[in-house]
Each structure stands twice: as structure tokens, then as C-alpha cells.
Amino acid sequence: MVVSKQLQTASRLLAGDAFDSRCASRPIMDQVTTRWGTLIIAALITGPHRFSALHQRVGGISQKMLSQNLKALVRTGLVERTVEPAVPPQVTYSLTELGESLAEPLCALLGWFGANTAAMVAAQQRHDALAPR
């Protein structure tokens, strides 16, 4: 494979990092790559969203998980929370610069999933057919 060349170098950069269980990136990675983190970031790419807008957009998430994840993302500096004093209260979430820079590779990943999900589902079915029960 041609790609493996670049990939090997890329992975070596991480060898002493991400694979170490006591690495600082672990908890952060967990937070972002967790089920909802990815989708929330992705949802914010198109621009600022209000709480309820996100709630609808992400689909399937509970308010609890949404607010929880948002808080964590704000803390990590990926998302910015903006409160506009008004009645009723109006809160807007948007990506910080850091968050936008994350969105790039993240989008690539999501794009890959969009393109290859069908193949993977097929693989699963093939696999299940061979190993009944």
C-alpha cells in the first residue's frame, strides 16, 4: 500500500503519546470521541447554534447529555458559550478557533463514515451469515 508509508510516520509520532495509558490526551480524546462529542462538534460546524437547536439537530441526545457534553467542551476550550441578556434567555454555542481546527480532521472522519458505512454493514451481514448464532 502506498498510504502505509505516511501512515507509519504519522503513527510513530503518536507512539510515545496516545498509546501510553497515562497520557494527558487520553481523557480528552475520550471526551471528544465519545458518542456525542463528535456529533456536537460536527453540528456546530455550520455555525453557532442555540441549545434547543442543537438538541433537535443531534437527534437522540437527552438534554442532560447535551448540557453535560457542552460544559465539558467549553472547559476544554473547543466550544464557546455566549449568553445574550434577554427575556427569554438566549444562549448560543459556537466553535472556538481551536474547535474549528478540530472540526477539519473530524469532518474527514465523518465523511469517511458516510462513504463507507454501507460496506461495513454488508461486511457485518456476511460475517453473521457465516457464524450462525
* Of 38, 42, 45, 50, the one binding DNA by CB under 7 A: 50
Find the binding residues for its own copies in span 22-61 (CB under 8 A).
23-26, 28-30, 32-35, 38-39, 42-43, 45-47, 57-60
DSSP 8-state assignment for residue 79: E
Q: Which residue's entry shows cell 481523557?
A: 27
Contact 83, 91 (CB under 8 A): yes
* Pair type for strands 90-95 and 49-50: antiparallel
Is 83 a residue that touches its own copies (CB under 8 A)?
A: no
Q: Which does 65 bind (CB under 5 to 8 A by kind): DNA, its own copies, none?
A: DNA
- The angle, 0 to 180 degrees and rounded to 10, between the axes of the packed helices 35-44 and 25-33 is 70
CB of 72 to DNA, least distance (A): 10
CA distances from 12 to 1, 9, 86, 101 (A): 17, 5, 51, 22
Is 63 a residue that touches its own copies (CB under 8 A)?
A: no
Which listed range, 3-11, 45-53, 110-118, 125-133, lies at the site for DNA (CB under 7 A)? 45-53
The residues binding DNA (CB under 7 A) are: 34-36, 50-53, 60-65, 67, 70-71, 81, 88-91, 93
